[in-house]
Amino acid sequence: MKTAVVTGSARGIGSAIAKALEGTGYTVVYSDVLDELEGVAHYHKCDISVEADRLALAAFVVEKFGRIDLLVNNAGVALKTRMDILETMPESFERLMRINLEGTFFMCQTFANAMIKQGGEGCRIVNIASMSSYASSVNRGEYCVSKAGVSMVTKLFAHRLADDGIGVFEVRPGIILTDMTVPVKEKYEQMIADGVTPIRRFGTPEDVANCVLAVAEGYLDFSTGQVINADGGYHLRRF
């Protein structure tokens, strides 16, 4: 039985990923900042921006299941208030870097070391980034910078871990209908109708989960460092 850890899995994209992995036979450890999560077999609280939490999560999985086969770094936060980059506050910038970027980097480090210790070969890490990794949005610049950083984290760990047989991948969701996008749903609906994405519909958490499944099932093992766009074709450069 293979074991997967999915951070930020209490709802939305993370929950869909965790459920999809369970459907393929993985034992899944759900993880989030909640004290507990009802309705799941295995849960461990973890704030990925806190070193002690990261170490405790990895130790829990190894102790309980004997190994870690897949880490999905999905946990992250959006801005509390969107502001023009000429007005962005250091507190907001530091919060997003600490959680989205630093947290993801050190989750990769912590779990990569655990994977290497158990043998490494066949293990995988998936980082959930965003189309904001490359698309400029000047009223939420700190989010864009944090996700651009996640893209480099993926490249770095894919490079470093290749000799250990550990694949590292990045999934970039586009406009996905979740609790986080509900406040701007009407705006996005109009953008989609106007053709901002070639596929004219919202993405779903399941669309993102399917990309993770391709990695989890080993279909991309010769493609470490690969970016998988779950964005309805937004990444295409079009006239």
Q: Is the predicted pLDDT of residue 171 greater than 90, yes or no?
A: yes
Tens digits of residue pLDDT in 4-43: 999 999 999 999 999 999 999 999 999 999 999 999 999 9
Which residue type does 221 have?
D
Q: Phi-psi region for residue 78, left (φ > 0), alpha (ψ -120 to 50) or beta?
A: beta
pLDDT of residue 182: 81
Model's pTM, two decimal places?
0.96
pLDDT of residue 239: 83
Side-chain half-sphere of 33: how many Cα atoms within 13 Å?
10
Based on the residue annotation, tell me whether 143 is a catalytic residue of this protein.
yes
Tens digits of residue pLDDT in 48-97: 999 999 999 999 999 999 999 999 999 999 999 999 999 999 999 999 99
pLDDT of residue 181: 83
pLDDT confidence band for 184 (50 / 70 / 90) = confident
Q: Is the predicted pLDDT of residue 1 greater than 90, yes or no?
A: no
Closest-CA residue to 30 (of 16, 40, 21): 40
Tens digits of residue pLDDT in 136-165: 999 999 999 999 999 999 999 999 999 999
Three-class SS of residue 170?
strand
Closest-CA residue to 7 (of 134, 136, 150): 150
Q: Is the predicted pLDDT of residue 231 greater than 90, yes or no?
A: yes
Sheet harboring 27-32: ordered strands across? 43-45, 27-32, 3-7, 70-73, 124-128, 167-173, 227-230
Query: Where are the domains positioned within the chain?
Result: 3-230
Sign, CA dihedral 153-176-42-65, equals negative
Side-chain half-sphere of 235: how many Cα atoms within 13 Å?
14
Rounded to a whole number, what is the distance in angstroms from the first to the last CA of the chain?
Answer: 48
Which residues have CB under 8 Å from 194's CB, separation 6+? none
pLDDT of residue 41: 97
Three-class SS of residue 6?
strand
| Cβ proximity of 101 and 150 under 8 Å | yes
CATH architecture of 3-230: 3-Layer(aba) Sandwich (3.40)
pLDDT of residue 179: 84
Query: Catalytic: which of 143, 188, 219, 234?
Result: 143
Query: Rounded to an integer, what distance in angstroms lies between the CA atom of residue 139 and that of residue 162?
Result: 37
